[in-house]
Amino acid sequence: MRVNVIIPVFNRLEDTRKVLEALRRQTFVDALTIVVVNDGSTDGTAEYLQSQGDVVEIRGDGNLWWGGAIAEGLKHVLPSCQAEDYILLLNNDTWFDENYVDTLVQTSKANGEAAVGSVIHEEEKDPPIVSIGPRININRFAIWDLLSELSKAQQRSPDSQYRVDALSGRGTLYPALLFRKYGGARPRLLPHYMADYEIAMRFARAGVPLIVSTKAIIYSPPVYGNDVSRLSWKKRLFGRRSPHNVFQRLIFYSLVGSPVQRLTAPFRMAYFFCARVLLGSMTSRFKKFAFSFVRARRLGELRRHGVSVGRDVVLYGAPLLQRHPDSEIHLDDRVVLCSDSRFTALALNHPVKIATIRAGSKISIGADSGISGATIVSAVRISIGAEVLMGANVTIFDTDFHPIRPEGRRHSDVEADIKTAPVHIGDNVFIGTNALILRGTEIGRDSIVAAGAVVRGNFPAGAIIAGNPAKVVGSVYTTSQERPGSQPDGEHENSNI
C-alpha cells in the first residue's frame, strides 16, 4: 500500500520546504510518493525541487491553476496505483505532525474506504480550530463551515470525526480507485475554486462517505486562501483568482446535486442572485433611511429645546437634556455625543446629560469633540474647547449645588449662598473615565486628566493631571516643544474641596 501525495505549488518556496519536511517525518514515510506540480514558480522553487531526490517534480507554464495541477499529478500517479493505494491532496502552506498520514489512512479504512479530510488549526488561536469542513445547501446556493454549528464547548472538545458535504484540497485522502471509477479534476470547467468540492461531491453521489477526522490536523498561517477585499467588483465577480467568480459558481452548481438540481441551477442561481442583490440594496437603503430619520429626530428634539446645533453633529443614543429657558447650550460642528454603550469600548453608567440650571448659564462644546456618558451641569458657564475627548462617565459642574452652611444646606432658596465659578477646558484635552471636574477649574490645551481624578484649580497647557486632589504629575510636551501659556507646575491653585 502506498500513499501518493500531490501538492500544487506556485512560488512560496519556504512553505514548500516546510510541507516536505513534515512529510519526511511521517511514520508512513517509506510508503509515500511525493509529487509536486510546480506551475511556473519564479522564486527558486524549481531549482530546489531538482535537488530533492525523494520528490517528483511536474512543471507547468503558470496556467494550470489548482484543477490543472491536480489533473497533471493524477496522470502521473494513477497508472502505477494498486487497488489498496491512496491519493493525498495537499497545499504547500500547511504543516502537520508525524502521525498525520497514518491517521487519515486508518480513518478511511475504519469508514469503509471513505474520503477523509482534515481540520484546520491556527497557531496561537484559542480555540485553535478554524475550519472543519463545508456544509452546502445546493437549493439555496449557500456554503458555510460546520464549525459554525458547534457550541464553544464543542469547538474546544470536538468529536473524533464529522460527516460533511464536501472536502477541500487542503489535506484530503482518497482511495486511488475512486479516480479511476469516477474521474479526476475538470480543469476546463473548474480551473481553480470549487474544483476540490466538485470532486468530493461527485464521489459522494456514488455513495462514498465524506469524513473529516479531527485527529488529522493541518496547521495553517492566520490567512489562507485568496484575499479579495482589494479587488474591484468586476474582478471579484468575474476574475479567475476570486472565489466569488459567478461563472465558476454557476458551473459548480450545474455539476453537483441531483439531476433536477443540476438542470435548474442556472435559473435558480439567477433568481437568488437578483433576490439577494435587491434585498441587500433595499436593506442597506432602509438602514440608512432609519439612521437618518432617528438622527434628524434627535437633533430636532435638541433644537426644539433651544439648543444651538452645528453641522454634522452625531448622536449615538438619545442624550438627556435640561435647559433653563434663559440659558444657552451650544454644540459646535461635528460634536459626537455617545449615550449608548454599544458604540463605545467602556460601559456607560447613563446617557450624556447636559443641563443649565440657572438663568444666564451657558454650556458650549467645541468642534470635533467626543463625549461618552458624561454629566455636564452649569449654573454659570462651562466652556469645552475643540477636539476634546472624554472617556466614559466624566462629570463636570460649575456649582456646589448646595450652600456650605449646615442650616441652609437642605432647603436654601438663596442662590448667593451657593458657590459657583466658571469651568474652562482648553482645546485637545483628553479627560479619562470617571474624572470629576469641579467649579472654578481651568485646564490648558493639550492636557490629560487621568481616570478617576478629582480636579479643581488652574492647570497649564500640556499638563498631565492625576490624583485626589488632582495635581500636575508631568507634561505631554518634550523639552524641545514650546508650552503655550505654560507656568511652573507648582503655580496652579491647590484643590480645596
- CB under 8 Å to 481, separation ≥6 — which residues? none
How far from 106 is each of 15, 133, 276, CA to CA, in Å? 27, 19, 43
Q: Which residues are catalytic?
A: 402
Could you write out the three-class secondary structure of the chain? Answer: CCEEEEEEECCCHHHHHHHHHHHHCCCCHHHEEEEEEEECCCCCHHHHHHCCCCEEEEEECCCCHHHHHHHHHHHHHHHHCCCCCEEEECCCCCECCCCHHHHHHHHHHHCCCCEEEEEEEECCCCCCEEECCEEEECCCCEEEEHHHHCCHHHHHCCCCEEECCCCCCCCEEEEHHHHHHHCCCCCCCCCCCCHHHHHHHHHHHCCCCEEEEEEEEEEECCCCCCCCCCCCHHHHHHCCCCCCCHHHHHHHHHHCCCHHHHHHHHHHHHHHHHHHHHHHHHHHHHHHHHHHHHHHHHHHHHHHCCCEECCCCEEECCCEEEECCCCEEEECCCCEEECCHHHCCCCCCCCCEEEECCCCCEEEECCCCEEECCEEEECCEEEECCCCEECCCCEEECECCCCCCHHHCCCCCCHHHCCECCEEECCCCEECCCCEECCCCEECCCCEECCCCEECCEECCCEEEEECCEEEEEECCCCCCCCCCCCCHHHCCCCCC
Instruction: Answer whether 320's CB lies under 8 Å from 340's CB.
Output: no
